[in-house]
Amino acid sequence: MRILPVLDLQDGFVVRGVAGRRKEYRPIASLLCDDPSAASVARGLRNAFGFDSCYLADLDAIAGHAPNIRLYDEAAAAGLELWIDSGAGSVESCLLPTRYFAERQAVGRVILGLELLPSVETLTEAFQAGLNPLEAVFSLDLLEGRPLSKVDAWAGLGPLEIAEQVLGLGVPSLIVLDMAGVGVGQGVPTLQLCRELRHRYPYLEIISGGGVRDVDDLFALEDAGCDAALVASALHDGRITREHLENFAHQ
C-alpha cells in the first residue's frame, strides 16, 4: 500500500483540515517546513519522505473561486505528481486538471468528488469532452457514513450503490473519505466500507484515509484492502516518520 500525502490549499496556503469544517481551516504548522506555502510544504514532504506524488485539494476552486494554478506549479516543481481535486460542480471544473496537465505535458490524476457533483450527466459529459475515465479517481465523499450528494438520482442510495453506478461509467479508482474523520486523529472510519468494496470489486483501486493517527492505522487500511492511504496531519506532526514508513514497507 502506497502513502499519498495530502495538500489542502486555501487562500494561498496549505491548510490543516478539521472534519470538513473548511471555515475552521488554518495555515498548517509542520515539522517538515518553515512556512505553509505550497512550495515549502511540498519540498518538505519530498525531502523528508521521498514521496513522488500527492493529493492536492484546491479548496478555493471547490468553493467556486478561481483555481490556485500557481500553487499547483509550486507543488509540481518539488517533484510531485499531482492528483488534483478542483471540484466537480461543472463539466469545466472536471476538465480543469486535464487541461492543466496537457498544457504542461505532465502526468497526473483527476479527482471527481461526490460532494459537489450536480448530476450523473456531468460525469458523462466530462468524459465525452476529453477526460479519460482511466485517469479519473472518484471520491466517494461521506459524512458520518452518509453520502454527501446533490445528485437527485442518487437520493436515498447508500455508498455501495453509488459506487456501483460510478464504476459502471468506467472509472477504475475510488477514494473513500468520511469528512468527519479528517484531521481529528481518531482513526479511519471507512475501514468496513473499504472491506466491502474490496470483496465486491477485487480489481478496483481503493484509496482511503481521514483520521490516520499512526502506522497502526496504515496497517488497518492495508488489511481493509486499500491500495493507497491519504495522510496529512500525522506526517506533519511527526507521528509517522520516514523510519515508520520504511518499516511498514518491509512488513
DSSP 200-214: H-TT-EEEEESS--S
Neighbouring C-alpha atoms within 13 Å toward the C-beta of 151: 27
User: What amino acid occupies position 218?
Assistant: L
pLDDT digits (tens, 9 = 90+) for 208-239: 998 899 999 999 999 999 999 999 999 999 99
Residue pLDDT, tens place only, 178-203: 987 776 667 899 999 999 999 999 99
Is pLDDT of 20 > 60?
no
Checking if the pLDDT of 116 tops 90, the result is yes
The DSSP call for residue 142 is E
Is a pLDDT exceeding 60 seen at residue 19? no
φ/ψ of residue 177, rounded to 5: -135, 120
Average pLDDT of span 43-71: 95
Q: How far apart are CA 174 and CA 72, in angstroms?
A: 22
Q: Where are the domains of the chain?
A: 2-249
Residue 124: DSSP 8-state: H
Q: Is the pLDDT of residue 39 over 90?
A: yes
What superfamily would CATH give domain 2-249? Answer: Aldolase class I (3.20.20.70)
State the pTM of this model. 0.93
Complete DSSP assignment for 63-88: TTS---HHHHHHHHHTT-EEEEE---
Confidence at residue 17, expressed as pLDDT on a 0 to 100 scale: 64
**Closest by Cα among 93, 98, 18, 16 to 61:** 93
The per-residue pLDDT for 24 is 60
